[in-house]
Amino acid sequence: MKKNSKLTSKDEKELISKLINGDQSAFEFIVNEYHNLMLSVSRAIVGEAFADEVVQDAWISAIKALPKFEGRSKLKTWLLHIVSNGAKSRVRRENRSVSLDQGWESVSADKFDNTGHRFDDVLTWDETTPEDLLANDQLQAVIETSFQQLPSLQRAALTMYDMEGIKMDEVCNILDISASNARVLLHRARTTLHQCIEKFQDAE
């Protein structure tokens, strides 16, 4: 089974058929492939306290509904909609609003003069390709830690859009947020991780 999220529809049909036939390796595959992503969406919508429970319920619903899965969407998107619906039901009674962290700055205000121009030069990074950056184990650990400290909505938006290649309108549907909010979340997440790489580069 391919070890990445880009399964073709043929791969998916094969995977679903194996799941329906009770193939243990197929179950291990989908859990390893999608559980963390489902947890990210669940945490973003319902918060840390109920996230695990919502994902567990989503898995049960998905497994029961699997024989009826018609393949009109990708398996990944289908699973994310199940977890998203479960999480939304869970919070329906609460007055949840998307927190966009008022006062957040993409770059600290003290980096600009009163005309909005930068005081300092921005230099090119020594390690410019992802492969160069990844060759540095310490930096990789710094990025992972910084990612885990992002607010859950930012993590979910970043994971779905930048890592999983899910389209923006799907991301908005799954997280139940507007496109402008999703873009703000995405930019904030990217900027925070950029700052963590920048700090690391400056310290090197």
Q: Which residues of this chain interact with other proteins, rule CB under 8 A? A: 19-20, 22, 24, 27-28, 30-32, 35-36, 39-40, 43, 52, 59-60, 63-64, 66-67, 106-107, 112, 115-118, 120-125, 128-131, 133-134, 140, 143-144, 147-148, 155, 158-159, 162-163, 183, 186-187, 190-191, 193-194, 197-198
Minimal distance, residue 77 CB to other proteins, in Å: 18
Minimal distance, residue 35 CB to other proteins, in Å: 6
Q: Which is nearer to other proteins, 2 or 194 (CB)?
A: 194
Q: Which is nearer to other proteins, 39 or 75 (CB)?
A: 39
Q: How far apart are CA 98 and CA 177, in angstroms?
A: 8
Terminal CA-CA length for the chain: 40
Minimal distance, residue 114 CB to other proteins, in Å: 10
Q: Which is nearer to other proteins, 9 or 106 (CB)?
A: 106
Q: How far apart are CA 8 and CA 5, in angstroms?
A: 9
Nearest Cα residue to 130 out of 72, 71, 197, 34: 197
- Cβ pair 45, 87 in contact under 8 A: yes
Residues 6+ apart with CB under 8 A from 13: 71
Minimal distance, residue 4 CB to other proteins, in Å: 9
Q: Which is nearer to other proteins, 9 or 140 (CB)?
A: 140
- Cβ pair 106, 191 in contact under 8 A: yes
Q: How far apart are CA 176 and CA 85, in angstroms?
A: 10
Q: Which is nearer to other proteins, 35 or 95 (CB)?
A: 35
